[in-house]
Amino acid sequence: MRKILILGSNGLLGQNLVRHFRKRNDVIASSYSAKNKLSELGISYHRVDITNRVAVAELVQSVHPDIIINAAAYTNVDACEDHPEICWNTNVRGVENIVEAAASVKPVLVHVSTDYVFDGEDGPYTEDDQPNPRGNYARSKLAGENVVKNSDLEYILARTQVLFGSGRDVGPNFVTWVIDQLTHKRKIRIVDDQIGSPTYAPDFCEAIDRLLQKETFGLFHISGPDILSRYDFAVKIADVFDLDKSLIERIKTVNLNQKAPRPVNSAFKIYKLINYTGWEPHSLDRALELLKEELANQDG
Ligand SMILES: NC(=O)c1ccc[n+]([C@@H]2O[C@H](COP(=O)([O-])OP(=O)(O)OC[C@H]3O[C@@H](n4cnc5c(N)ncnc54)[C@H](OP(=O)(O)O)[C@@H]3O)[C@@H](O)[C@H]2O)c1
């Protein structure tokens, strides 16, 4: 049985990773908060701040994992403009701490990165395309990637984007936010000039699992296969969840006044993932249906 240490286990992706990998592995969870949001699963949980070099070293030495999956990050893109130190400390120094702590234990390191490393002027992107990050979050995530690339560890560098799924006490993701707004009959304004490839969190976990099983390392783009605007995505969500799509107003990015720049088209080409694993993520329609089932089971 592989021993897998999952960092950022309280986050949307972290919770999905814990739920996925605990089925066939010895999973140890760690996150920033004192509270383990998945305490009902009964897995071992360590409260560790990845910016604390000593604490990370002690955690990795005591757990001695075969695999570390780092889903911990400072993910509030606009807040990264206001708090560049927290952003850099978490997304770069935190990764340096993990790499340093892992040097003697030599686990495989799976590190999660983002489509924001691209400027979005020329998407969809392959793994061979040149990053050009804009904004503090984007620059910190690219710097974090480079820390992993320059390490002596075997690694999977997994860029993903527009994650959606379910989690306990996590902030809303685009899908759960749209569902919530439309369920309460609120009008929402959604941009039709930001294009991406939404990613169903359980599919991301499956992709990582398959890459690990094949011992295939390197940089991978992991997203769903569909490429569409945020507006079209919102309409699709309304369709699948039987909500009123007339409440969705089409707007442009300039109307939003967001602090950090957003890539216009940062969709992924995922041929590399498909070629290496022989597996394809679900279509967006199917993934939304699966999420609907997930949410219904949680309610019940
Ligand atoms: N969400 C997306 O659409 C998206 C898109 C592209 C890439 N990504 C990447 O995917 C990864 C996971 O994202 P997510 O959406 O799951 O984010 P999230 O829900 O914000 O979760 C991030 C987790 O990181 C933990 N964390 C933050 N600072 C920490 C620190 N100093 N020490 C230890 N843990 C810390 C938080 O812990 P607590 O909850 O315990 O405080 C939180 O659970 C990130 O690397 C992100 O950049 C996400």
In ligand 1, which atom is closest to the CA atom of 89? 31
pLDDT in tens, 12-40: 999 999 999 999 999 999 999 999 999 99
Please tell me the chain's helix, strand, coil percentages from 3-state DSSP, rounded to the nearest 5: 40, 20, 40
Tokens found for residue 140: 């910190």
Name the one residue in this structure whose structure tokens are 């000593």. 54
Residues forming beta bridges with residue 248, ordered by sequence position: 188
Maximum alpha-carbon separation in the chain: 57
In ligand 1, which atom is closest to the CA atom of 174? 3
Conformation bin of residue 87: beta by default, left when phi > 0, alpha when psi is -120 to 50: alpha
* Residues in Cβ contact with 106 at an 8 Å cutoff, skipping those fewer than 6 apart: 153
List Cα–Cα distances, 293 to 185, 240, 298, in angstroms.
Answer: 22, 11, 9
Angstrom distance (rounded) from CA 82 to CA 201: 28
Stretch (H or E) spanning 166: none
**pLDDT given for residue 146 in this prediction:** 98
Mutate which of 33, 35, 75 for ligand 1? The one with the most ligand atoms within 8 Å of its CB, which is 75
**pLDDT given for residue 300 in this prediction:** 53
pLDDT at 79 over 90: yes
Cα-to-centroid distance, 168 and ligand 1 (Å): 14
Atom 32, ligand 1: which residue's CA is nearest?
49
Residues forming beta bridges with residue 229, ordered by sequence position: 195
Per DSSP, helices labelled H in 84-200 are 84-88, 94-102, 136-149, 174-183
Angstrom distance (rounded) from CA 112 to CA 146: 12
Which residues contact ligand 1 via a Cβ below 6 A? 8, 10-14, 31-33, 49-51, 71-75, 90, 94, 112, 114, 141, 160-163, 170
Give the predicted TM-score (pTM) of the model. 0.98
Cα-to-centroid distance, 74 and ligand 1 (Å): 6
Cα-to-centroid distance, 31 and ligand 1 (Å): 9
Angstrom distance (rounded) from CA 141 to CA 116: 8
**pLDDT given for residue 299 in this prediction:** 66
pLDDT in tens, 34-49: 999 999 999 999 999 9
Cα-to-centroid distance, 105 and ligand 1 (Å): 24
Domains (ranges, CATH) in the chain?
Answer: 3-167+197-226+266-282 (3.40.50.720)
Q: Which SS3 state, helix, strand or coil, does residue 67 take? A: strand
pLDDT in tens, 220-251: 999 999 999 999 999 999 999 999 999 999 99
Half-sphere exposure of 93 (CA within 13 A, CB side): 13
